Amino acid sequence: MQYCPKCRIQIRGHKKCCPLCQGRLTGEPEDSPFPVVRKSLLTGIGLIRIATFIFLASEIAMGTAAFLATSAAHHPIPWIPIVMTGGVVVWLDLVVAFNLRNNILKIITFEAYIAMIIDYVIDRMTGFAGWSVVWMIPATFLGLAVVTLAIGKAAKLHLEDYIIYILFDTLFSMLQIIPIVRGQNHFEWMAVVCMALYLILFTATLIFRFSELRNATEKFFNV
């Protein structure tokens, strides 16, 4: 064990100087009583940075290829925008999963919204047949409601912990009225049923669980 003659203290481990007076130590050094934690190069932040670099490099490469192909043949490559959009989805999924890794309900909710946005964008890019607003978005909203309630019950969460998700899902599901009004949804029954079920769920929450809804809203908005 090492010893500082000036401070008259014994020091365990292997030190080059006294941690108090920075003076010379006597005695024989010994192994540190604490385990040595090795720093890993592939930490969470490092992985996100590597993924971001790969994503940006891929987007730049594909954008360059699309520009050169259009300039040379005067004909755009139709699959490149779809692949670039897919790259954005994969990168967003990774970032969301890393930042929300301790809350599976948040991950699923964000993933569902990202999926709905991407479905709509792909539908628009491929001629807008309407399958996104007719089937995919309503089905995703319905599945999200089922998963939210199932996770809340399975994880034995308090209603205040997940009721705010039901509130926001209800509000965003009402946006399905826009394609219906604009004539973009030519088979609107599934979207209408989806909105009706969300309104029923929210009405039941408002009537029977108003206190939990108020507490969750105040907590969310820091009121």
* Segment 199-220, tens digit of pLDDT: 999 999 999 989 888 888 888 7
Q: What percent of the chain has pLDDT over 70?
A: 87
Please report which confidence band the pLDDT of residue 151 belongs to, taking 50, 70 and 90 as the band edges.
Answer: confident
pLDDT of residue 41: 46
Residue 35 pLDDT greater than 60, yes or no: no
Residue 135 pLDDT greater than 90, yes or no: yes
Instruction: Enumerate the domain spans of the chain.
Output: 1-37, 43-99, 104-223
List of residues 6+ apart from 198 with CB closer than 8 A: 141, 145, 169, 170, 173, 174
User: Chain centroid to CA 218: how far?
Assistant: 23
Q: Which of 43-57, 100-114, 187-201 has the lowest mean pLDDT?
A: 43-57
Element (H, E) at 113: helix 104-125
End-to-end CA distance of the chain: 57
Residue 195 pLDDT greater than 80, yes or no: yes
Kindly state the average pLDDT of the residues 113-129: 88
Name which residue leads in pLDDT, 65 or 181: 181
pLDDT of residue 137: 96
pLDDT of residue 74: 67
144 by Cβ neighbours in 10 Å (0-12 / 13-18 / 19+) ranks as: buried
List of residues 6+ apart from 147 with CB closer than 8 A: 108
Please report which confidence band the pLDDT of residue 108 belongs to, taking 50, 70 and 90 as the band edges.
Answer: confident
Q: What percent of the chain has pLDDT over 90?
A: 28
Name which residue leads in pLDDT, 47 or 218: 218
C-beta separation of 201 from 170 below 8 A: yes
89 by Cβ neighbours in 10 Å (0-12 / 13-18 / 19+) ranks as: middle
pLDDT of residue 139: 95
Residue 27 pLDDT greater than 70, yes or no: yes
For the record, the structure tokens of 77 come out as 């490559």
Q: Rounded to an integer, what distance in angstroms lies between the CA atom of residue 85 and that of residue 18? A: 58
Kindly state the average pLDDT of the residues 126-150: 93
51-101 tens-digit pLDDT: 788 888 988 988 888 788 777 766 666 777 777 777 777 777 677 767 766
Mean residue pLDDT of the chain comes to: 83
